[in-house]
């Protein structure tokens, strides 16, 4: 039977499928264009919305805010859709900036009226302000005081597996000056940094961090941003053998017998810190008063270690204490 070539043959069903795909794509493109035109036309219209606007009160060095002030005001604005979309979801640089620094007044009440609030709104020039809530409040100024307080880090360090943090987190500077209303200043004992978690750390690390401000503009903090640093090293374990037991606080009586007189200690720390350890840096100490007051026959020595070294265990765990009486060993 003769063979006939089929390379140029097309199944009519393939053309129907192709035309169907074109129609489907055309429908999607048409819908997209229609939606885009509708959105463009709609956002060119005027609308109203509410914005939560942060309040910032600016004072001079001789002014201290005594009263509580709202941290935000709710502002109803009207404007073009595009402008409102930009303000609500993109730009967000608006604020209510109340400048008291040019006032000579350093005590008493300052009224923040509706008109002053309107004048204090920034970055809302392209909109019409319909309403503001609250539309009035009072700022009370009190006596100014200042002091230096310590700063504590609120930084959580999570080292990489097989690594360990060596020592504490260092802050520079570790003291800040706080200035403001005297009653509040007297109650401040410590400042903290902002909370940060650092993960997968495997080396010495440093950076900068802000001091946490929870005083709602009532206190001026200097500096507001400080440096931090800490060390992370590869974790290392070591066993130090034959550490002699030392008795401190008195001379061990001949009637007392301690056994064993040496212990082994298992230590953990950063590889660089472990490398610095000498045999004489490790002390196993018993207090003489514990020996003479002992009634159990079991004592636990105190292990004194270099900085940044952790005790895992001691072998043996206890020191046996025997007492000779009338030539007998009890």
Please compute the mean of the pLDDT values over residues 237-257 and round it to a whole number: 85
Top CATH class of 235-329 equals mainly beta
Contact residues for 124 (Cβ-Cβ < 8 A; gap 6+): 51, 75, 77, 87, 94
- pLDDT tens digits for 139-148? 999 999 999 9
Asked if residue 240 lies in contact with residue 304, where contact means CB atoms within 8 angstroms, the answer is: no
Distance CA 77, CA 126 (A): 10
For the chain, give every residue range classified as CATH 2.170.120.40.
Answer: 144-233
Q: Which H helix or E strand runs over 46?
A: strand 46-58
Q: Is 110 left (phi over 0), alpha (psi -120 to 50) or beta?
A: beta
| Percent of the residues in the chain that have a pLDDT greater than 70, as a whole number | 86
From 2.40.240.10, 3.30.420.10, 3.40.470.10, 2.170.120.30, which CATH number describes the 46-141 domain? 2.170.120.30
| HSE toward the beta carbon, residue 193, CA cutoff 13 A | 23
pLDDT band at 1 (very low <50, low <70, confident <90, very high): very low
Mean pLDDT taken over the chain:
88
**Using CB atoms within 10 A of its CB, is residue 108 exposed (0-12), middle (13-18) or buried (19+)?**
exposed
What pLDDT is recorded for position 158?
Answer: 97
What pLDDT is recorded for position 25?
Answer: 72
Distance CA 142, CA 183 (A): 9
- pLDDT tens digits for 189-199? 999 999 999 99
Distances (CA, A) of 195 to 164, 171, 192, 294: 20, 14, 8, 48
| HSE toward the beta carbon, residue 21, CA cutoff 13 A | 5
Distance CA 174, CA 149 (A): 9
pLDDT band at 328 (very low <50, low <70, confident <90, very high): very low
- pLDDT tens digits for 87-130? 888 888 899 999 999 888 889 999 999 999 999 999 998 899 99
Distance CA 49, CA 66 (A): 33
What pLDDT is recorded for position 218?
Answer: 84
Please compute the mean of the pLDDT values over residues 227-234 and round it to a whole number: 97
Q: Is 5 left (phi over 0), alpha (psi -120 to 50) or beta?
A: beta
Most confident among 12-21, 125-134, 204-213, 316-325 (mean pLDDT): 204-213
What pLDDT is recorded for position 44?
Answer: 77
Asked if residue 283 lies in contact with residue 246, where contact means CB atoms within 8 angstroms, the answer is: yes
Of 14-28, 43-57, 107-121, the range with the lowest mean pLDDT is 14-28
What pLDDT is recorded for position 242?
Answer: 94
User: Which residues face 53 on adjacent strands?
Assistant: 73
User: Which residues face 299 on adjacent strands?
Assistant: 319
Instruction: Give just the sign of the alpha carbon dihedral 38, 41, 47, 50.
Output: positive
CATH topology of domain 144-233: RNA Polymerase Alpha Subunit; Chain A, domain 2 (2.170.120)
- pLDDT tens digits for 273-305? 999 998 889 999 999 998 888 889 999 999 999
What pLDDT is recorded for position 257?
Answer: 86
Please compute the mean of the pLDDT values over residues 148-175 and round it to a whole number: 96
If one compares 34 and 330, the residue with the highest pLDDT of the two is 34
Distance CA 38, CA 244 (A): 87
Q: Identify the three-state secondary structure at position 150.
A: strand
């Amino acid at each position: 039977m003769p063979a006939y070539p089929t390379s140029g043959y097309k199944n009519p069903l393939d053309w129907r499928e192709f035309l169907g795909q074109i129609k489907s794509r055309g429908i999607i493109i048409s819908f997209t264009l229609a939606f885009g035109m509708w959105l463009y036309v709609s956002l060119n219209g005027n609308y109203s919305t509410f914005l939560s606007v942060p309040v910032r009160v600016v004072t001079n060095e001789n002014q201290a805010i005594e009263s509580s002030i709202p941290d935000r005001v709710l502002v109803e604005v009207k404007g073009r859709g595009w402008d409102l979309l930009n303000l609500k979801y993109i730009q967000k640089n608006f604020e209510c900036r109340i400048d008291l620094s040019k006032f000579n007044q350093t005590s008493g009440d300052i009224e923040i009226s509706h008109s002053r609030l309107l004048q204090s709104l920034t970055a809302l020039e392209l909109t019409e302000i319909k309403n503001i809530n609250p539309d009035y409040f009072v700022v009370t100024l009190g006596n100014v005081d200042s002091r230096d307080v310590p700063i504590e880090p609120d930084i959580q360090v999570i080292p990489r597996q097989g690594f360990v943090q060596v020592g504490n987190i260092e802050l520079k500077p570790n003291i800040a000056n706080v200035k403001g209303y005297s009653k509040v200043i007297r109650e401040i004992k410590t400042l903290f940094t902002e909370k940060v978690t650092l993960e997968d750390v495997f080396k010495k690390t440093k950076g900068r961090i802000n001091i946490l401000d929870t005083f709602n503009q009532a206190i001026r903090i200097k500096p507001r941003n400080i440096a931090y640093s800490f060390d992370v090293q590869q974790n290392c374990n070591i066993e130090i053998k034959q550490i002699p037991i030392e008795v401190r606080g008195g001379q061990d009586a001949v009637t007392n017998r301690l056994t064993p007189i040496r212990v082994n200690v298992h230590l953990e720390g950063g590889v660089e810190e472990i490398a610095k350890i000498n045999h004489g840096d490790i002390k196993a100490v018993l207090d003489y008063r514990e020996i003479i007051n002992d009634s159990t026959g079991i004592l636990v020595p105190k292990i004194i270690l270099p900085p940044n070294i952790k005790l895992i265990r001691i072998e043996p765990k206890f020191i046996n204490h025997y007492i000779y009486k009338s030539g007998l060993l009890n």
